[in-house]
Amino acid sequence: MHDGLLRSITGPDDVKALRADQLPDLCAEIRTTLLDYGHRHGGHIGSNLGLVEATVALHRVFDSPNDRIVFDVSHQSYVHKMLTGRAQAYLDPARAGETTGFTNPEESEHDQFVLGHTGTSISLACGLAKARDARGETNNVIAVIGDGSLSSGVAFEGLNNAAEQGGNLIIVFNDNEMSIAEDFGGMYGPLARLRESGGTAQPNIFNAFGLDYRYVEQGNDVAALVDAFTEVKDIDHPVVVHIHTLKGLGLPAADDRHEVDHCDLSGSEPHAGRCEASHWQTPDAALGKPDDPRKHYGKLAMAALERCFAAEPGLTIISPATPGSNGITREFRERAGSHYVDTGITESHAVAFAAGIARAGGTPVVATTASFFQRAYDQFFQEMALNRQPVTLLSFLSGLSGSDSTHSGAYDIAMFGNIPGLICLAPTSGYDFLGMLDWATDPARRGSAHPGPILIRVPSETVLAADAQSVYRATCESRGITGADWLRWHAVRHGSEVAILGLGNMLPLALQVADALPFDATVVDPRQFGSLDGEALDAIMGSHRLIVALEDGQREGGWGEKVATYCANRRLPRAVAPHVLTFGAVKEFTDRVPLDELDERYGLTIESVVDAVLGLID
């Protein structure tokens, strides 16, 4: 690959030093580098391919880091990283781990924030501009928003504030006609008419907020973008520069870039245009492998729910723009019809929307990842739990994982397990997962003692691997359990002296620890973490000297602390009160740390737990 220009770029000044006629060549080299990187390492390739020219133009015109550029979603920042001294991480396979998939100030002064969620760039830019004006400074502040993130409610709050605040603020709207899947929402019709009219059509959503507006149809023409950004540089009021780009430009071309195809996320043949498969590219080495837990259990759940469509017209599956990664395939969505709604990247709306459906007698199921659900905490608390609405939530990527710091699910137990009225289930097998889903979505539950919302923690790789073993299934599946019995603890192995409570993904470890002990230990599947089974725990306290609580989430404020607090408050005589050991994650942010390293760090290994047990028992 001829990459002489890109290898010479050590910072934005090198971009400025190029001749204008060299910029298209630089863009071509960057695009080739992105394509090669995607085949080797995977990642958010499609949106970056569409933003090559815009990013080159931004660094050609503006003076980062003095001019502050905020990317949203910052998975669109690969090209920005290449142009700010980090190109070798994309050119040299041995250095790929030097950069994260999102902006990160610890990597470079050109990165303003760590951002992996959506919609906040305009609000952040408003804050940067406010502080700049207070100091009497004159630098530019630029928010780059797009790839579906404009649909987030906080983006509209930012637009509203920007117009009121005034002063220099440049909002670059990357309109690639896509979100993670296709874009959804009423605003996209007017945006399409703006594109068709060259930016002149009304209504203009940005004008309606009181914002100045410019349109660039050729959003992949670097010269046109340099001109557009030069025109607004140092502007004295907020302005939106709406650029029309092609997501995945450089991938094989679609027959019609404006038509949504039938590809699934992470498909093996992504192409340019409105292609869901280009959003996240799976590296070549991982193609053809079995589904990961998100897709595996998501597909199981969708198949079970689909069988209920005919009898339950109000059954509605809601995805806030993350269907494919959670096993909600395009084929399923097309069959589901009105039973499926993609709300766009709008988690707060999705949960409130579900509460409204439930209030009207429907059966809503909201499916997304644990870290995205945290964006809807207030709706969890008020619209859903306080109002006791029978909403079912499928929480994917929960617990410890090797995810980056913005997508970790390690905080879900402490966060959701302490919301009053929210039942939080942690299945330990595919069988139990489907049984819990059946109970949660049963319309008859409305008239029961537990009519409110239910969150189901979708199992991880640990459970998926164990679930493939017939001995594990025979030991752990809760055959014959229905209704509120899912809230009762399940002793999967009976012993004495030591009781090991393995919550959700930790049950396989609990069984392995029991196997490694020189005596028979009791192993319990608690099934849920929103409350405790006091009757079961009292029985355990009366017959065991040591209770071990294992959870793959933040220990502080987590489920194990509930167990320890309950036992302490029983105020048993010291001679008979059991000791309680809790194992879980330290309260910290982690970034792309392999799961086995996290388990070692937190003592969530057979050796660590066994040593702790024997140290107390002996």
Rounded percentage of the chain residues whose pLDDT exceeds 90: 86
Q: CA 589 to CA 421: how far, in whole Å? A: 28
Residues 597, 106, 170, 83, CA torsion sign: negative
78 and 187 in a single domain? The answer is: yes
184 and 261 in a single domain? The answer is: yes
Structural domain total, the chain = 3
458 and 527 in a single domain? The answer is: no
φ and ψ at 178, to 5 degrees? -140, 160
Instruction: Determine the residue type at 423.
Output: I
Residue predicted with more confidence, 159 or 266 = 159
**Would you say how long the chain is, in residues?**
618
What digits encode the pLDDT tens for the residues 310-329? 999 999 999 998 899 999 99
Q: Find the mean pLDDT for residues 347-353.
A: 97
262 and 313 in a single domain? The answer is: no
**Band (261; pLDDT cuts 50, 70, 90):** low
Say which DSSP state 83 is in.
I
Token couple for 506: 């930790």
**Band (568; pLDDT cuts 50, 70, 90):** very high
- Supply the pLDDT for residue 185: 82
400-to-397, 466, 558, 585 alpha-carbon distances in Å = 8, 17, 13, 8
Q: Say if 271 falls within a structural domain.
A: no
pLDDT over 70 at 257, yes or no: no
- Supply the pLDDT for residue 147: 86
245 and 354 in a single domain? The answer is: no
121 and 237 in a single domain? The answer is: yes
What digits encode the pLDDT tens for the residues 421-451? 999 999 999 999 999 999 999 999 999 999 9
Question: Which residue is it, tokens 């002064």?
Answer: 109
Q: Say if 469 falls within a structural domain.
A: no
Q: Find the mean pLDDT for residues 494-517.
A: 98
Q: Say if 477 falls within a structural domain.
A: no
**Band (256; pLDDT cuts 50, 70, 90):** low
248 and 298 in a single domain? The answer is: no
CA-closest candidate to residue 275, choices 296, 297, 288, 258: 258
245 and 123 in a single domain? The answer is: yes
**Residues contacting 202, CB < 8 A, separation 6+:** none
78 and 197 in a single domain? The answer is: yes
pLDDT over 50 at 1, yes or no: no
Q: Say if 319 falls within a structural domain.
A: yes
CATH number at residue 596: 3.40.50.920
259 and 337 in a single domain? The answer is: no
Which residues span the domain enclosing 517? Answer: 486-617
Are 163 and 201 contacting, i.e. CB atoms less than 8 angstroms apart? no
Q: Say if 419 falls within a structural domain.
A: yes
User: Beta strand 68-72 with 141-146: parallel, antiparallel or unpaired?
Assistant: parallel
9 and 79 in a single domain? The answer is: yes
CATH number at residue 170: 3.40.50.970
Q: Say if 276 falls within a structural domain.
A: no
Q: Find the mean pLDDT for residues 446-470.
A: 97
Are 513 and 481 contacting, i.e. CB atoms less than 8 angstroms apart? no
pLDDT over 80 at 506, yes or no: yes
What digits encode the pLDDT tens for the residues 35-56? 999 999 989 999 999 999 999 9
- Supply the pLDDT for residue 214: 98
587 and 453 in a single domain? The answer is: no
- Supply the pLDDT for residue 277: 72
Q: Say if 275 falls within a structural domain.
A: no
**Band (268; pLDDT cuts 50, 70, 90):** low
Q: CA 53 to CA 336: how far, in whole Å? A: 39
Question: Which residue is it, tokens 């617990």?
Answer: 399
Q: Find the mean pLDDT for residues 82-91.
A: 97
Token couple for 273: 């245009």
φ and ψ at 287, to 5 degrees? -65, 140
**H or E stretch covering 318:** strand 315-319
What DSSP line would sit under 374-400, residue for residue?
Answer: GGGHHHIIIIIIITT---EEEEES-BS
